[in-house]
Amino acid sequence: MKFIVRDVPPRMVWELEQSGLHPLLAQLYASRGIQQLQEMDTALSRLILPSTMKGAAEAAQLLADAIATDQKICIVADYDCDGATACAVGVRGLRLLGARHVDYIVPDRVQDGYGLTPPISARVKASGADVLVTVDNGIASFDGVAAARALGLKVLVTDHHLCACIDDQVALPKANVIVNPNQPGCPFASKSIAGVGVMFYVLLALRAELRTRHIFNQTDELRQDTSVCQPKLDTLLPLVALGTVADMVRLDANNRRLVAQGLKRVRSLVMPVGLAALFVASARDAKMATTFDFGFAIGPRINAAGRLSDMTIGIECLLTDDATRALELAQELDSMNRERRSIEGQMRTQALVVAEALFANTDAPPPAICVFDPNFHEGVVGIVASRLKDKLHRPTFVFASSGATGHADELKGSGRSIAGFHLRDALDLVAKRYPGVLLRFGGHAMAAGCTVAKDQFKTFEQGLIEVAKEWLNAATLKRCTETDGPLKPEYRRVDLVDALHKAVWGQGFEAPTFSEELEVVSQKLVAEKHMSLKLKHQGESVDGIWFGHTQSLPARVKLAFRLDAQAWRGERKVRFLVEAAEGE
């Protein structure tokens, strides 16, 4: 492990300080590319306009017409947290805007596979729907969209994934309307927006369309209501924030605003009762909510439903307005997450044995890793791939046998990548070099999924390693951690810790991590898996904890650590959360 200290442009720091920002925050923001304090302005008025998202206006017209004629709308969701929150935002938002018949279907990860398929389209039609809306999927669902159109359904695709390429040309499904900032010709500036964010923007556009139709503050004969007020869609922002963080999209300025606004409402306890119940089930204080809570406590519990059971449980938790029912569902999700952790732990141990064997007795370990075991659980391969990638610093795919009926000869894989290796582009190149090996694939730069024939696994592995050898070198394969350098002792204060926790950090806008040589005064193992530390920082004592680490540290060691505050006998004190040791 090597620590690399982020560059801190002095001029930018000075300008931020002149704006009234604390010197520590000025340093942290400047090193992350912030040039002016207004870039950190999280006001809703600074959100990118919905009118700049290609297809949003047409989507609004389609949905407004459906509402006006009392048509039934069915949302086809995805089985991860982004898909679940996007579905909940869609259902809640459409109902707020006057739709009386809104339902949803979420594919089963094992039985149905990913995205809108012809059988799913048939189920939507059988439900009596007139309009099919995809959330967080659909951009590569050519057959599913075609089947839906053939059945007479109007199809609106809302997605954020990269478009498919056929013969080196971008290909789009034949939907009535597509809303995806990553489709050709879309000027929307935030290409990193999550699927839930795209759905939220469609609702903003729909509200604007209904406003032009003079729907609000007019007599509504259908409902015999003479005071139809314009709904406030900001009630959906807690769910938008959760899905955005959980999907680990890059937190550009627009995404930071969406997340900040969602957190603001959660901290004020203004959120769906299901989200509040998930905070209770995960023993987190909603009044002190952070992006860390979304990413490591709430999101995994929702994801557990899609991994091990049926994401309907997660979506229903986010949709219910019954607090008692919400708590029951949240506790069920918590139990699933505990089971998921157990399965993941067993798989990680098995996968690590296989992966580390590739490194044994060789001076040139492979630049990419592919692992398969017939006993692996399909729903947990992505998490295990992430853990292996973190430990071995290699692009990693983990495969399991497909559980879908009629697909016993297929393997489903999930991959995670490192900087400098665009995973979806790598899959595309493997597909071109080895036609027929990849049956299906898609994803992003850092995460992707694919399906291969079981007898083609070794060919796929060979193809991926070939691409990795071409794209990666010794420098990019060396594990390193970016840090913010030494922490000045005067910044070791609880009020600054609280200020840091209130800020929005995440993918592409990493949380502050400091690094410097510290003296280890004492250390002891707690709960058999964490190292409790007494450290000396700049001559003063400070507590530390290294979660998940069991090996003893030398008397002096260079550590990377985050700041935390812990309560002890009525007093809050700063604590260092150790992330890594240089050279380990």
pLDDT value at residue 217: 66
- Residue 287 neighbours by CB distance under 10 Å: 10
Instruction: Please tell me the predicted confidence (pLDDT) of residue 398.
Output: 97
C-beta separation of 318 from 85 below 8 A: yes
Amino acid 567: pLDDT: 85
Which residue is listed with tokens 């018949």? Answer: 101
Beta strands in 146-230 (DSSP E): 154-158, 164-166, 169-171, 177-179
Which pLDDT score is estimated for 227? 46
Are the C-beta atoms of residues 268 and 250 closer than 8 Å to each other?
no
pLDDT digits (tens, 9 = 90+) for 424-481: 999 999 999 999 999 988 888 888 999 999 999 999 999 999 999 999 998 899 888 9
Q: Which residues pair with 515 in a beta bridge?
A: 560
**Residue 518's pLDDT band (cuts 50, 70, 90):** very high
CB crowding 168-192: b at 16 or more within 10 Å, else e? eeeebbebbbbbbbbbeebebebeb
Q: For 316-340, what is the mean pLDDT? A: 97
- Sequence-distant (≥ 6) Cβ neighbours of residue 561 within 8 angstroms: 513, 514, 515, 544, 576, 577, 578, 579
Find, among 326, 262, 319, 323, the residue nearest to 102 by Cα: 319
What would the mean pLDDT of 368-388 be, rounded to a whole number?
A: 94
Mean pLDDT score, 223-228: 47
For the chain, give the mean pLDDT: 93
For the domain spanning 2-11+480-581, the CATH number is 2.40.50.460
CATH of domain 358-471: 3.10.310.30
Report how far residue 367's alpha carbon sits from residue 393's, in angstroms, rounded to the nearest whole number: 9
Q: Which pLDDT value is given to residue 228? A: 57
CA-wise closest residue to 182 among 200, 164, 160, 202: 160
- Please tell me whether residue 548 adopts helix, strand or coil conformation: coil
Is 90 exceeded by the pLDDT of residue 226?
A: no
**Helical axes 195-212 vs 253-267, angle rounded to 10°:** 80
Residue 414: pLDDT above 90?
A: yes
pLDDT band of 406, cuts 50, 70, 90:
low
Beta bridge partners of residue 576, listed in sequence order: 544, 563
List residues bridging with 133 in a β-sheet: 75, 156
Task: Return the SS3 of 130.
Answer: coil
Task: Provide the pLDDT for residue 173.
Answer: 97
Sign of CA dihedral 182, 186, 192, 198: negative
Residue 338 pLDDT exceeds 60: yes
Q: What number of residues does the chain have?
A: 584
Q: How is residue 323 annotated by DSSP?
A: H
Domain 47-213+222-335 indexed as CATH 1.20.140.10 = no
pLDDT tens digit string along 63-113?
Answer: 999 999 999 999 999 999 999 999 999 999 999 999 999 999 999 877 887
CA nearest neighbour of 181 among 167, 195, 165: 195
Distance CA 311, CA 538 (A): 49
Query: Cβ of 406: how many Cβ atoms within 10 Å?
Result: 7
CA dihedral 390, 396, 400, 406 (to 10 degrees): 140
Q: In whole angstroms, what separates CA 283 from the centre of its chain? A: 21
Single-letter residue type at 335? S
List pLDDT tens digits, range 252-291: 999 999 999 999 999 999 999 999 999 999 999 999 999 9
Indicate yes or no: pTM above 0.85.
Answer: yes
Q: What is the pLDDT of residue 223?
A: 45
Residue 222's pLDDT band, with cuts at 50, 70 and 90, is very low
The pLDDT tens digits of the residues spanning 110-168 come to 788 788 999 999 999 999 999 999 999 999 999 999 999 999 999 999 999 989 888 78
Where does the pLDDT of residue 219 fall: very low under 50, low under 70, confident under 90, or very high at 90 and above? very low
Instruction: Return the bridge partners of 410, or none.
Output: 453
Cα-based angle 88, 510, 291 (whole degrees, multiple of 5):
35
Percent of the chain topping pLDDT 90: 84
In this predicted structure, what is the pLDDT of residue 404? 60
Q: Which of 55-64, 181-190, 206-215, 440-449 has the lowest mean pLDDT?
A: 440-449
DSSP code string of 55-108? THHHHHHHHHHHHHTT--EEEE--SSHHHHHHHHHHHHHHHHTT-S-EEEE---
Average pLDDT in the 556-581 region? Answer: 93
Domain ranges of the chain: 2-11+480-581, 47-213+222-335, 358-471
The pLDDT score that the predictor gives to residue 221 is 45
Q: Give the type of residue at 62.
A: L
- pLDDT more than 70, % of the chain: 97
Q: What is the mean pLDDT of residues 351-373?
A: 90
How would residue 220 be classed by pLDDT, with cut points 50, 70 and 90? very low
Take residue 44 and report the two structure tokens written for it.
Answer: 């809703």
Residue 486 Cα distances to 15, 96, 118, 293, 503, angstroms: 22, 50, 56, 26, 20
CB 123 within 8 A of CB 105: yes
